[in-house]
Amino acid sequence: MSENNVRVKKSVTRNAVLNVVKTIMSLAFPLITFPYSTRVLGLTAVGKYNFASSVVSYFTMLAALGITMYAVREGSKYRDDPEKTNQFCNEVFSINIYSMVFTLFLLYLSILFVGKLQGYTILLLIFSVRIVLNTINVNWIYSIFEDFSFPTITAALMEVISISVMLLFVHSPADLYIYAVSAVIAYNGYGLLTFLYARKYVNLKFVWKPSMIHLKPIMIIFFLELGMSVYVDSDIILVGWIDGDDATGLYSTASTIYKILKQVLNALNMVVLPRIAYHVGREAICIHDNDRAGYEENHAQAEKLGSLLVNTTITLALPMMVGIYLIAEPIVILFAGEAFHDAYQPLQLLSIALLFAVLAVFYGQSVLTAYKQEKVYMKATILSAVVNIVLNLILIPKYHVNAAACTTILAELIMVVITYRESRKYLKIPISKNVIVSSVVGCAAIVGVSMILKRLIASSMIYMFATIAVSVAVYGAIMILFRNDVIWRLLGKQSD
């Protein structure tokens, strides 16, 4: 293996570890605070919080447009040219400032004139600060330069501050607004720090008349992300609108646990995205220069990275799916308390969507957007969103929160089928049969472990922790026994 390939492998591994650590740190907030808040604030207050948060999430997305994904993809091509990188970052950042101002105006108008929202005014105003902090959070600059160290450190700092605020000041349902402030600090507080430190890479400044050449691809990605958010997050809003705050509290509990697992797995994708975009960009340059060997080398590197990520996702996501389905009930009780017991059924259903969701993100974001096929990705997203919304409107009044979970499964399945089929036109990413067989056998063993322990252990909490511990050990042993390609590579037993 060449010295350059060794360096690339080490940097990808290091960045993957850092980004997973950062993601886990960001998940420390819901893991620590949600069990606390559900017990202190109660079902209704949690429902209000999640409804208001979901509403503002759409405005936050409008302000962000499709800038993060676009900036990482395009900026990765310019990172070896400081002048072009600086110009690109300033123009993209300025477009984001304009969209932020417009979005805040729309949000405040909505609060004034939409009757349903007026009962959530204070929460909506608190969450509106997210829009500002999210805009100045130029984390995409760090992704361009594949620097995950500083964002990891600052995110951890904000988590500590946020959790401290919550534990010191949130003690009853009357403290709901303080809890909302602590959440803003946790999820968006480090935006100011990333903005200030970005001068290490670029001289970031506002440009009054940024080039509009960026606007079309940004808007295509925005509609793509809007559609993704609709089929992922609209469930909470529709449940709240149709079934009320208590139902929202139940469904948002299941959804929060599901999203925690999905974020951990997607952290790997965010590391691979800029690297695949870099190789795809080099492909185009090699084609322009009639460099066939260079093209084939970069194409092979992109396929290798893609294969590693897909096989890793299967190895990790399948046992997560099975495990969450089996121990959903005690997880919900531990995570949220007895009052949220009925959230375990939608959590079981959502667990089925986990593998579909993560693979759809990879095929869509890392492959299709890298090859500038956002329109294809957007059409798949819109189709999924329409199916999700229509079925939710039909089914939620009769089947309630379980209907919302089922429509999410269908939407994620539609997405992964379409994105997988379309991505193969550009990258034919091999999936290891060894990974599939070993993972399926490992999951069957997890089911067996669960059934045996359930007969032996009466306490649901002891059963849950015992199932997790024994299942991890058994699954890991099976991966080694079957020489699972991902685990074998991690142990250094398999070369590239």
- Domain extent listing, the chain: 8-431, 433-496
Residue 204 tokens read as: 């970031």
Q: What pLDDT does 26 receive?
A: 61
Q: What pLDDT does 447 receive?
A: 94
Lowest mean pLDDT among 12-16, 69-73, 277-281: 12-16
Q: What pLDDT does 483 receive?
A: 87
Per the CB < 8 A criterion, the answer to whether 434 and 484 are in contact is: yes
Per the document, the length of the chain is 496
Lowest mean pLDDT among 84-98, 213-227, 303-317: 213-227
Nearest to 274 by CA among 134, 140, 415, 90: 140
3-state secondary structure of 254: helix
Confidence label for 369 from pLDDT (cuts 50, 70 and 90): confident
Rounded to an integer, the average pLDDT of 70-95 is: 84
Per the CB < 8 A criterion, the answer to whether 246 and 44 are in contact is: yes
Most confident stretch, 19-23, 103-107, 489-493: 103-107
Which residue in the block uniquely carries the two structure tokens 């007026």? 118
